[in-house]
Amino acid sequence: MTQLPDGLDVLRVFCGPDGRHGNELGVVRDGARVPVRDERQAVAAKLGFSETVFVDDPERGVIDIYTPTLRLPFAGHPCVGTSWLLDVPELVTPAGVVEARQDGEFSWIAARAEWAPPRTLREYGTPAEVNALAVPPPGEWIYAWAWEDEAAGRVRARAFPGRDDGIREDEATGAAALLLCAEQGRALNITQGRGSQILTAPAPGGLIEVGGRVRRLAGGLGRR
């Protein structure tokens, strides 16, 4: 039976203005406790969060990201949450070096759109149409969105990973928001899922910034 490692932090990333909602994230601060990739995958599957991060070098911000079924070279909400937890200026992912900063209640990362895994960005006519969507069958990763207020850059979105790994709808997805920002070429204020908030903005050098609030649910959890 897979055991959870000591020193596990559980966060919520991209919380709403009231501090609620956000996407759960597991962070194993001492990645050396789980050195083998297959073991890391087993831990991520046991936790069942949309992503789990293993920190291989906390000072340099070297991280390794897993969904319940696969390893990711980059993902948005794990980078936002881990940068907040470690309070580092950058994170080193297999995709590249992610810039990070803290600005009041918001934690920000800056990354390249080409680092994000492929997503189908599907625009709908109204937020009500997005709200009414049923979860589609597995197969395609769909980011469903509609303008709430196009002039103000306000978006309503829902995310359906389609991976058949137990995550039928993703509450808050930074990589998809990054791709939408790159497609639209403008700053966006996204309300996703039940009430999570994701902020995005184009940045110099072809980067896209993604930001949101982070809250700790639990820290330093031992084996269970």
Tell me the pLDDT tens digit for each residue of 63-113. 999 999 999 999 999 999 999 999 999 999 999 999 999 999 999 999 999
Could you tell me which of 91, 88, 89, 87 has the C-alpha nearest to residue 76? 91
Q: Which residue ranges make up each domain of the chain?
A: 8-100+214-221, 115-210
Lowest mean pLDDT among 74-78, 156-160, 216-220: 216-220
CATH topology of domain 8-100+214-221: Diaminopimelate Epimerase; Chain A, domain 1 (3.10.310)
Task: Fill in the DSSP letter of residue 167.
Answer: -
CATH topology of domain 115-210: Diaminopimelate Epimerase; Chain A, domain 1 (3.10.310)
Report residue 44 CA to chain centroid gap.
Answer: 14
- The DSSP string of 85-126 is HHT-SEEE-SS-EEEEEEETTEEEEEE-GGGSPP-EEEE-S-
pLDDT at 5 over 90: no
CB atoms within 10 A of CB 126: 12
CB 207 within 8 A of CB 99: yes
**Mean pLDDT for the chain?**
95
Q: How far apart are CA 127 and CA 180, in angstroms?
A: 16
Is it true that 8-100+214-221 and 115-210 share their CATH fold?
Answer: yes
pTM: 0.95
Which pLDDT score is estimated for 221? 54
At 89, list the tokens.
């200026």
CB 109 within 8 A of CB 91: yes
DSSP E strands in the chain: the ranges are 8-15, 23-28, 51-57, 62-66, 71-72, 90-92, 97-103, 106-111, 120-123, 142-149, 154-160, 188-192, 196-202, 208-221
Could you tell me which of 104, 105, 103, 109 has the C-alpha nearest to residue 82? 109
